Amino acid sequence: MQFTGFDLDHFVAHYWQKQPLLIRNPWGDWQNPLEPDELAGLACEDDVESRLVIGNDGNRTMENGPFAEDRFAGLGTGPWTLLVQAVDHHVPDVAELIAPFRFVPNWRIDDVMVSYATDGGGVGSHYDNYDVFLVQGLGQRRWRVGPKCDSRTPLLPHDDLRLVAEFEATDEWVLNPGDILYVPPCYAHDGVAVGDDCMTYSIGFRAPSRSELIEGWAEHLAEQFSDEERYTDPDLALQAQPGEISEAAIARLHDIVMEAISDRAGFARWFGQHNSTPKYDRDWRPETLLDEKALLTSVAQGLPLIRNPASRFSFIRVGPQENALFVDGQSFKCEGESAVLAESICATPVILLGHTDVQCADVASLLIALVNQGSLAFDDDG
């Protein structure tokens, strides 16, 4: 799926992370990629994260999945909402919804959450700390958007839901199939189904917090140093007051920390691995490990190589012909032909290789490693 007649340059300049925007059906011919029964089926599976919000206004309860197959039949006629995370990992047609939004770098893209709601259903007024595009799939939903919020914004008391206590809408729209509402980080918003069979696709983005980055980087660094690397003061100066922590000591202690955390190249390597660690696991590791002979056979058969939809791929350019490839928390040094391959893998979910492509030993080794760790697979099912 692709947008038609939508000015991305104008959007990025005037709306991205600045203000909400209603985008009336930019798809041309919108086709809903998932049926409600299929979504309910996913919510019954053990390896899928799902939630059920029952009720509306100030009377909402939440249940976590997986759910029994007869759970939805027993909900009655009142308002309820089913939310299923990372549906793009399980349904290729839903994964295709992400393609038009790849004007944002891949490392920032999270997943596609899909919700189904009966008349009046919704999760309530809330705000997210990341950007989200809300694509109306089936039916109608009334969206209200309010002002920006932060950690000081009062919330309603609730064990499971973070609901804004005093929500005052500044804009309101009813979305039809194919319409999109863009909501920047921290803007309060509230969506309510208008009629039954309301489905919404939420394309969310990752935005690491300052605390997450500091904590993760510091923990990584702490694991790298031996216990013998300590503060030293061979030039100790006698001081009149033994209880004082001297300025010289503070400066030396501070230098010890800053010298470690200011390693920019090390931080880049750590972040590539940290950011590529998958949130949800879909085990694609082959029962029989791929070797060079099996690799050549698969390529000779013309089998396309596809990415595990739960895997994360990104790279950092190290030199003119050298990349650091990060896949599922692992790092791979790629030079020459393997660097070209790394960029291709990150750019497209399907790669068709020729015999000459795998003659390079580094290319073959990289492909074998990625297949055996379950990040790539040859599609022998067509």
Q: Which amino acid is at 371?
A: V
Q: How far apart are CA 128 and CA 322, in angstroms?
A: 37
Check if the beta carbon of residue 1 is closer than 8 Å to that of residue 95: no
What order of strands is seen across the sheet that includes strand 350-351?
350-351, 305-307, 376-378
Question: Would you state the pLDDT for residue 382?
Answer: 56
Cα-flanking dihedrals φ and ψ of residue 22, to 5°? -90, 125
Task: Enumerate residue ranges in the chain where pLDDT < 50.
Answer: none
Is there a domain that residue 31 lies in?
yes
Q: Are residues 15 and 62 in the same domain?
A: yes
Q: 166-190 burial, b if ≥16 CB within 10 A, otherwise e?
A: ebeeeeeeebebbbbbbbbebbbbb
CATH (domain of 199): 2.60.120.650
Q: Residue 367: which domain range?
A: 292-378
Which positions ≥6 away from 244 have C-beta within 8 Å? none
Question: Would you state the pLDDT for residue 292?
Answer: 96
Q: Beta strand 50-56 with 171-175: parallel, antiparallel or unpaired?
A: unpaired
**137: burial class by Cβ within 10 Å (0-12, 13-18, 19+)?**
buried
Q: Are residues 228 and 143 in the same domain?
A: no
Is there a domain that residue 109 lies in?
yes
What order of strands is seen across the sheet that includes strand 322-327?
313-319, 322-327, 330-335
Is there a domain that residue 140 lies in?
yes
Both structure tokens of 381: 């099912």
Question: Would you state the pLDDT for residue 381?
Answer: 77
Summarize pLDDT for 220-232 with one digit per residue, the tens: 999 999 999 999 9
CATH (domain of 374): 3.40.366.30
Is there a domain that residue 223 lies in?
yes
Q: Are residues 155 and 258 in the same domain?
A: no
- The sign of the CA dihedral 238, 241, 243, 244 is negative
Q: Are residues 195 and 224 in the same domain?
A: no
Q: Are residues 199 and 219 in the same domain?
A: no
Number of domains, the chain: 3
Give the residue ranges of DSSP H helices in the chain. Answer: 8-14, 36-43, 92-95, 210-224, 247-261, 264-276, 292-300, 337-347, 361-372
Q: Are residues 214 and 198 in the same domain?
A: no
Q: Are residues 177 and 216 in the same domain?
A: no
Residue 101: other Cβ atoms inside 10 A: 19
Is there a domain that residue 287 lies in?
no
Summarize pLDDT for 257-292 with one digit per residue, the tens: 999 999 999 999 999 999 999 999 889 999 999 999
Both structure tokens of 252: 């030396």
Is there a domain that residue 276 lies in?
no
> Could you tell me the pTM of the whole model?
0.93
Q: Are residues 215 and 316 in the same domain?
A: no
Q: Are residues 251 and 373 in the same domain?
A: no
Q: Are residues 74 and 89 in the same domain?
A: yes
- The sign of the CA dihedral 8, 136, 34, 327 is positive
Q: Are residues 253 and 187 in the same domain?
A: no
Q: Are residues 309 and 183 in the same domain?
A: no
The CA angle 340-342-343, to the nearest 5 degrees, is 70
Is there a domain that residue 271 lies in?
no
Chain-centre distance of CA 198, in angstroms? Answer: 24
Q: 300-329 burial, b if ≥16 CB within 10 A, otherwise e?
A: eeebebbbbbbbbbbbbebeeeebbbbbbe
Both structure tokens of 340: 């070209």
Both structure tokens of 202: 């939420």
Residue 193: other Cβ atoms inside 10 A: 25
Q: Which element (helix H / strand E) includes 79?
A: none
Is there a domain that residue 148 lies in?
yes
